[in-house]
Amino acid sequence: MRRFVVVLLVLLIGAQVTANDMDAKIDNILKQLTLDEKIAMTHAQSKFSSPGVPRLGIPEIWMSDGPHGVRAEIAWDSWSHAGWTSDSITAFPALTALAATFNPELASQYGTALGEEARYRKKDILLGPGVNIYRTPLNGRNFEYMGEDPFLAATMVVPYIKGIQQNGVSACLKHYALNNQEQWRGHINVEVSDRALHEIYLPAYKAAVTEAGVWSVMGAYNQFRGQHTTHHKSLINDILKGEWGFDGVLVSDWGSAHDTRESALYGLDIEMGTGTDGLTTSNENAYDYYFLAKPFREMIQKGELDEALLDDKVRRILRLMFRTNMSSDRPLGRMNNPAHLEVARKIAGEGIVLLKNRKSFFPVNPDKKMTIAVIGENAVKSLTAGGGSSELKARDEVSPLRGIQERFASAEIIHSLGYVSGPPQYGSVIPSTQDADSLINAAVKVAMKADLVLYFGGLNKNWNQDCEGDDRNSMALPFGQDQLINKLARANKNLGVILVSGNAVEMPWLPEVKGVIQAWYLGSEAGHAIAGVISGDVNPSGKLPFSFPVKLSDNAAHSFGELSYPGDGKTQYYKEDILVGYRWHDTQKIKPLFAFGYGMSYTSFKLSSIKTDKKSYGTGELINISCKVTNTGKAAGSEVIQIYVGKLNSKVKRAAKELKAFQKVHLSKGEKASTKLAIDVNDLAFYDETTSNWNLEKGDYLIYVGTASNKISKKVKIRIN
């Protein structure tokens, strides 16, 4: 009830607030607040809310996990579900799938639809998106992020955030920063060069702040150079709030605050989840003993900390409120609906990546009378549940089997599990009680009866898979799937594999199968989207947002041994430095299994007439690159033009090439299009550690124009004067 009694007061406070007078109104409110009221606003009062000030009509702030949908309601003081019947939502594809679309317009539609559902659920902060860089294929949380390339992540996150926030809901960018593994995430100390920090790990955060104007940011669990990142002088005070001018709220990850003085001094504004279930053994509220609660107040009263530190935090919180729950023109939002499902399905369809297609195995004719064996647990397993905080309570989740059955109505569809993983359980693995050999034998018998086999495997949201809290144990497929796929291939040569995962996996069986599709976690419309691609209703156009190494040691982070990943239990060293992902593969000439930016189509494309507008450029100029794209195949489809840049004879270590521009182009059969892309010369600078600033090297550069990092159509030399 108390969430609604202050509505009239909120409207009065928020009426006619503009950017010009917001600060004045905030200053006026600050003068009326007591010390205790201000302290209360800087820490949690429940698992997902922080208190307001009822006597002044200042509302509570309500948060919800994201970033793929609004999480089911959680109990006030525990991680149990609250048991609501009105909190079912649209489950949107995981952010890896969004990144694979290489389509910023879809990112905008994603954010808008998600923001509408968050607003309808009366949320003020949606805890997402995540833009931590894909450094290792073992990271259990990679599926929540946008891949290995900082330019791709930055380009896709900006419209996503704008879409959410136009609904009067704050996106909460996470996890700032260097939270690139789940193992030992609560304490591991990351040592990385300033150059790699600024060139690889911070650009997406910077774009979210300076271009999208994100209203809140979440601190990470890990340490950086011996200081926890949630209250970090350099990362927060100097860079985030200093250099970038972030004027929003820094929220702790749940339990990531560790010290009152550092939290006060180094930028933490709202402390959440510090190891309490509300009431403890006494009658006092345990939330009052958070680092930014009574201990903070006592240090101010003793003169050990300046009250101005508290005022800055409250000022930021009030600014967030004027943008969200104290805004007079805030939209009402919309519950999950067919329009949101259509957005989810479109993103899923465009994000699916066709990796192999020998003898045009895909698409499969949906009108042909035949027997199709659908084998694999991931054809029927719910993949919106589990995974940690990104778990979702989908109103409806269309399984791949259901999608195939609905689209291939003329075929006889037979299903066999082949393997079983057991139910998802956070913090532990619950093994299946079914006999693995019996499952394999049954699947082989089914495969032998079929005209073709569609195998749905990969990973899932169980512990030590794609799940928050810990990492994978290896890059191999779990639950005996490699053995199963090999046996299926011997039983039926017409075998296509559909992998559902948020991470790269080893594929020792790749030569034995005719087709491979990377399908990601696709949410509510997963089955329809996958069936759309398999049937040819949708021409695949997704591109890999991270490299698939042949084996784990081919990955840069793992090539340097345990001190690089996962560390020695206390500290880890990013020894690969700036050579993350395809930068490592290209520069070290280590051939990947599938390259960054790679993805096949049911049609074919040709790039021609590739050129720059001139041969030399000065500081601040735009390098304009033009090319013609022709659909040379037999179907309409989309291609992603990718432009990489490399410095010749650099005075510092550089990657062979780096993504600097991309554009998705849709063409009908036989259609031609002329495209133009531009790169700011200043974006070719490297971060110079000798001056702690960006340095644009003069000299010759190569422009690489192609459709994948390893599929370059033409190189053009330019000069920077």
Q: Please work out, in degrees rounded to the nearest 5, the angle formed at the alpha carbon of residue 441 by the alpha carbons of 440 and 445.
A: 115
Report the C-alpha gap between 448 and 438 in whole angstroms.
Answer: 16
Tokens of 106: 């879809």
Q: Which residues pair with 125 in a beta bridge?
A: 63, 170
Quote the strand ranges of 425-473, DSSP E. Answer: 452-458
Q: DSSP 3-state assignment of 499?
A: strand
Tokens of 363: 């698409």
User: Which amino acid, residue 668?
Assistant: S
- Residue in 58, 62, 60 with CA at minimum distance from that of residue 12: 58
Block residue for tokens 């060069």 = 193
Query: On the CB side of 128, how many CA atoms lie within 13 Å of its CA?
Result: 29
Residue 507 has a CB neighbour count (10 Å cut-off) of: 23
Quote the strand ranges of 24-121, DSSP E. Answer: 49-50, 61-65
Q: Which residues pair with 357 in a beta bridge?
A: 515
Residue 304 has a CB neighbour count (10 Å cut-off) of: 11
Q: Which residues pair with 189 in a beta bridge?
A: 223, 571
- What strands lie across the sheet with 672-680, from one edge to the other? 605-612, 622-631, 672-680
Tokens of 413: 């569809």
What is the β-pairing status of strands 605-612 and 616-617?
unpaired
Tokens of 629: 């794209």
Report the C-alpha gap between 267 and 241 in whole angstroms.
Answer: 8
Q: Which residues pair with 623 in a beta bridge?
A: 679
Active-site residue, from 65, 149, 253, 554? 253
Q: DSSP 3-state assignment of 664?
A: strand
Report the C-alpha gap between 415 and 213 in whole angstroms.
Answer: 48
Asked if 587 and 576 count as a contact pair (C-beta separation under 8 A), the reply is no
Report the C-alpha gap between 98 and 104 in whole angstroms.
Answer: 9
DSSP 582-608: HHHHHHHT---SB-TT--B-SS-EEEE
Report the C-alpha gap between 353 and 110 in whole angstroms.
Answer: 19
Query: On the CB side of 209, how many CA atoms lie within 13 Å of its CA?
Result: 23
Buried b / exposed e along 308-325 (16+ C-beta atoms within 10 A) = ebbeebbbbbbbbbbbbb
Largest Cα–Cα distance of the chain, in whole Å? 82
Q: Is there a catalytic annotation at residue 451?
A: no
Cβ burial, residue 52 (10 Å; 0-12/13-18/19+):
buried
Report the C-alpha gap between 238 and 261 in whole angstroms.
Answer: 17
Asked if 293 and 39 count as a contact pair (C-beta separation under 8 A), the reply is yes
Query: On the CB side of 561, how many CA atoms lie within 13 Å of its CA?
Result: 2
**Residue partners of 127: CB distance under 8 A and separation at least 6:** 63, 64, 65, 66, 67, 172, 174, 218, 251, 389
Asked if 466 and 386 count as a contact pair (C-beta separation under 8 A), the reply is no
Q: Taken in order 387, 391, 393, 396, is the CA torsion positive or negative?
A: negative
Catalytic residue numbers, as ranges: 253
